[in-house]
Amino acid sequence: MSDSTLSSRTVLVTGATAGIGYETARQLAERGATVLLHGRTAEDARAASDALIATAGIAGDQLRTYAADFAHLDEVETLAGTVVAEHPHLDVLVNNAGMAAPERHTVTADGNEIAFQVNFLAHYLLTCLLEPALTSDPGGRVVNVSSALHRTGSIQWSDPNRTRRYSRLAAYAQSQLALTVFAADPRVTAVSVHPGVCDTAMLPLYSHEGMSPAEGAAHVVRLCDPAVEIVNGAYYDRDARIEPALAATEDRTVKRLNKLADLLVGRSAA
């Protein structure tokens, strides 16, 4: 992998300590990028960095580690502030961190259904706060790691926390739909990608077997490459660009989602 097309690029990967996020970080670093590894805890992030240096032969100066628990929005704000201060120019943000919705309805300290917050709201907030770094030079982009399950989702506008009727699959699908709709936001060029059904912690939501996280990560990494032209709001199933769910192409839905997200993360609409 001597392809160094990414040697001058700085990329932040959320959820980079396992699965597709870890493999995405590895492949980006192997191609020369400086990779900011986000983990839920500092220990997790450092362990991932150490493993990349030890097993993939990545140079230590290509990696930086950051921690934030996305179930706490104040930690997301702190993360964003630190990243912008240390990297005023960021080429790519990979919004990958995610969780399967729990069996039981669970609400965070911020008052949001946990899968909606971890999979979508935290990434919404992070992307908004990193906008100055992502747009400091032309060409900055956001890659949302979404899911084909977004097609089965619906956003419960009057009850996004799904307190009245909770199902873990519906909660997960709603979070993935929101992430996919958010890619059509005009502030920063963004795309969504379903990396395929991979053998990660999410696998039980889909089936019994999947391809390797490395195969899934390759589809994410491709979209981080400036040589690959992207269109804002585009949705990819692995490496094929296809139409997302209808909601993700409606301006009205994008605006409505931004309004809801601003409310839930405590941001006054700019």
142 within 8 A of 95, measured Cβ to Cβ: yes
Q: Can you tell me the distance from the alpha carbon of 154 to that of 150, in angstroms, rounded to the nearest whole number?
A: 8
206 flagged as catalytic: no
Name the active-site residue from 172, 206, 235, 236.
172
Tell the residue number behind the tokens 């699908």, with chain if given: 173
Q: Can you tell me the distance from the alpha carbon of 92 to that of 183, in angstroms, rounded to the nearest whole number?
A: 13
Task: Tell me the catalytic residues.
Answer: 172
